Amino acid sequence: MNEAGKNIGQAINRVDGILKVTGTAKYATDYEIKNTVYAVIFKSTIAAGEIISIDAGTAEKAPGVLAVITHKNAPKLNVGGGIRGGALLQGPNIEFYGQHIGLVVAETFEQARFASRLVKIDYKKTAAKVNFRQHQKEAVTPKDKDKADVIRGDAETAMLNAEYTIAATYETPIEHHQPMEPHATIAVWEGEKLTLYNGSQIVNGAQMAAASTLSIKPENVRIISPHIGGGFGSKGGQWANMVLTAIAAKMVNRPVKLALTRQQMFNSVGLRQSNSQKIRLAATKEGKLTALIHETTTHSAINGEFVEPCGDCSKLMYEVPHSLIAYRVVPMHIILPTYTRGPGKSTGSFALESAMDELAFKLKIDPIDFRLKNEPATDPSNGKPWSSRTTVQCLTEGAKAFGWERRKMEPRQHQEGDYLIGYGVACGTYPARQRDSSAIIKLNRKGSDVTAIIELAASDLGTGTHTILAQTAADALGLQVNKIDVKIGDSALPPAAGSVGSVGAASFSNAVNDACVKITEELIAKSGKQFFARPTAAQMMISENITQFQTRVDAKPPAGADKYSSHSFNANFAEVWVNNVTGMVKIPRFLAVTGAGRILNPKTASSQIIGGIVWGIGMALTEESVIDPRWGNFITRSFADYHVPSNLDIGTIETIFINEEDRMVNKLGVKGIGEVGIVGVAAAVANAIFNATGKRVRELPVTPDKLL
C-alpha cells in the first residue's frame, strides 16, 4: 500500500479486484430479488412490412406463463423519450429484421423461452433495403447539421494543380459491440417508484430515458449499476429492452428479469455501421500536403439517423490549406447504428492513415517523416491553440522503441521461410473533455482512524473507475487508498457524467478532487486557526476532534478550457508476418505510444490501451457482420462466426505513455484513453501488410482471400 499523498500515477491494483476474481461483484442480473420472474423477447422474422395477426393463445396457456405482451396490449409509451432504435411495441410496423415484437413473462426462464416459440405471427412483407452497396447511389445529405460539408479553401482546384495526388476508397464493414455482459435488466416496482438494475454507461442518462419513455417523474426512477461487464458505446444510450422489462414488471406486478441472448445482441442494441470513405490527398514533391478531401457514404435506420463522424481526424491531424469533409447517408431497414469504441475516429483513421501511407510511398518519403512534415502548429479545424499535442513525441519515441530503422521502404524485402515481414505506422486522436459532475465526500473518525466515503453517480465499465477515484481521494485527503470507500453506479447519488467519449476519468476524478479540496478548506475554516503548512483533511479531523463531516461539490470544466483544442494523441506501430502460401496474417508485435495527459494509474491505463489494440486488430483482420440480402438478418450472430481475436491471435503488445502535463484541459490534467486506444490500429496493421506484401487492401477485414 502506498503512502498517503503518493497514489496518483502509481500502478495500484484494482480496489474491486477481489470482488471480480471471487465472483462477488454484482452485475445487472446478479441481484437476488424475491418473487422475480423472467421475460424473453421474441423478434420479427422480416425486415420490412407489418404484423397482420398475432396468435398468442397457445403461449398464454403454456406452463408458468404470466403474460404475453405485444403491441396489442402494451401500454402507450413516449417514443421520443430517449430510447434508441424504436422497437417499443407501439404498433404493427416492422422496420428491421429482429425488431422486438413481443415478450413472454413466466415463472422460469426456460418456461418463458419455450412459450416465446409458440407465438404465431402473420406478416405483410414489403421490399426491404438491406444491401448497402446496392443502395449507395441513393445517399442523401444527413439531417444532422453537424454532418454538413466542412470546406476550407478550394480543395478541388488544389487537387487539379497538385504535383502528387492519390485517390482511393476505403471500406469498413458493420461491426458489433459484444461486451462480456450482454444487456440485461431487473425491474422492480414499489408503488409508483421503479428500480432498474441495469448496466448503464451514463447512469443519469438511463434514469432520464426510462422516466421520459414511461412518462413518470425522474425522481421515481432509480438506476443501480455499480459494475458493468463492458459496453463499448452500446450501453451509452439505452435500448428498448430496459423499458420493456419495466412494463412487464408493471403488468404482472412482480419483479422481472430480462437478459438478451448473445444472438439477440446482434439486432437489439445498435452497431457500427458500414462506411465507404473516398479520400483524395495532394502534396508537393517535398511532402507538404496541399489538399485533402474525405467523403463518407454510410447507412442509417429507416426510423432514425446516426452517422459516424469519420472525417473528424481528417479535420485536425495534419496541416492542410485546402480541405473538404463531407457525409452522405442511406436510410435502410437495419437497426439504428450507434456509438462504437472510437466512433468515427477508428474507422476514419483507417482511411486517412492508409491514404497517408499510400502518398508517402508514392513520394518515396518515410511515412513517419511525411507526417512530421505536416504537423500543425494549431488546430486546423478551428484555429485554436492546442492545450497540448504529443503526436511528434509519440512518433519519434515510438520509432526508437519499435526499431523503425529496420523497416525497408520497398515491400517484400524481408522474408523468413514462408513469411513476408512488414512494418506499419499510423496515428490517432480523440477529443479530451471534462463534463459536469457532482460528488459528495463523507469523512468519519474513530480515534485516530479516519476514513472517507466518495459518492457520485459515475459508472465503471471494468476500466478501473473505482480505483482511480480511490487514488485521487487518498492523495487529496491525506489518506491511504484502503481508507477510501468508493460508491458509484447509482442514480440516487450526485449526478455525474458518463463513461462515454473518454470523458469519464477526467470528469469523475476532477469532481472528486474538487470535493476533497473543498472539504479540507471547510475544515480549516471551521477550526478558526491559521497554519504555516496546509494540513490535510485527515489531520484536521483528528486535531479538531471531529467524528463526522461531509461536503458536496458540483464540478465544472475550468473557465477558458474551450479556448483550447484538447485531444489525446497516439502513434501505433505494427509488425506483421504474412504467410506467402496461405495468406494468413500474424501480428507478433505491436507498440502503442500515447499522449493522454496525466496518467492516474499506469496499470489500468495500459489495460485500456491493450483492449483498444486487440479490438483494432480484430477490426483489421477478423471482425465483420454480414447481412443475408434475402432476409435482412445477420448471418454472423454468434462468436462461432463473428470472429473476435483470441489469445492465439495476439502477440506481444507494448504500451508507452508520453510524460505530458496539460493544465488547460482540466485541473488534474487528465485526458481520456478509452477511445483513442483503438484509433489508428487497423491502419497500422494494413500499412504493415502492404510493407510486407506490396498488396494494398482497402477493404476491412484483411482476410487471406484478399492477399492471395
8 A C-beta contact, residue 267 and residue 178: no
8 A C-beta contact, residue 482 and residue 217: no
Q: What is the DSSP string of 435-450?
A: --EEEEEEEEEETTEE
In single-letter form, the type of residue at position 614 comes to V
487 DSSP β-pair partners: 455
> Which phi and psi (to 5°) does residue 472 adopt?
-60, -50
Cα 582 versus chain centre, distance: 34
181, 661, 675, 699: the catalytic one is 675
The neighbour count for residue 197, using CB atoms within 10 Å, is 25
Beta strand pairing call for 289-301 and 275-283 = antiparallel
Taking the C-alpha atoms of 683, 684, 685 and 687 in order, what is their torsion angle to the nearest 10 degrees? Answer: 80
Distance CA 202, CA 460 (A): 10
Distance CA 705, CA 48 (A): 33
Q: Is 375 a catalytic residue?
A: no
687 DSSP β-pair partners: none
Distance CA 260, CA 232 (A): 16
Instruction: Find, among 591, 683, 681, 680, the residue nearest to 404 by Cα.
Output: 591
The neighbour count for residue 129, using CB atoms within 10 Å, is 18
Beta strand pairing call for 49-55 and 93-94 = antiparallel
Only one residue has cell 462480456, namely 180
Q: How many contiguous H segments (helices) and E segments (strands) does the chain have?
A: 18, 27
Distance CA 143, CA 577 (A): 44
Distances, alpha carbon 585 to alpha carbons 221, 287, 575, 654, in Å: 50, 31, 10, 19
8 A C-beta contact, residue 89 and residue 158: no
Q: Which strands form 449-455's sheet, in the order they lie side by side?
A: 484-487, 449-455, 437-446, 548-555
Distance CA 321, CA 284 (A): 13
Beta strands per DSSP E along 235-353: 238-239, 256-259, 275-283, 289-301, 322-332
Cα-only R_g, the chain: 27
Instruction: Find, among 176, 198, 202, the residue nearest to 258 by Cα.
Output: 198
Instruction: Find, among 344, 179, 174, the residue nearest to 265 by Cα.
Output: 179
In single-letter form, the type of residue at position 578 comes to V
Q: Which residue stretches of 182-259 are H helix?
A: 203-214, 240-252
Beta strand pairing call for 193-198 and 221-224 = parallel
594 DSSP β-pair partners: 570, 657
The residues that are catalytic are 675
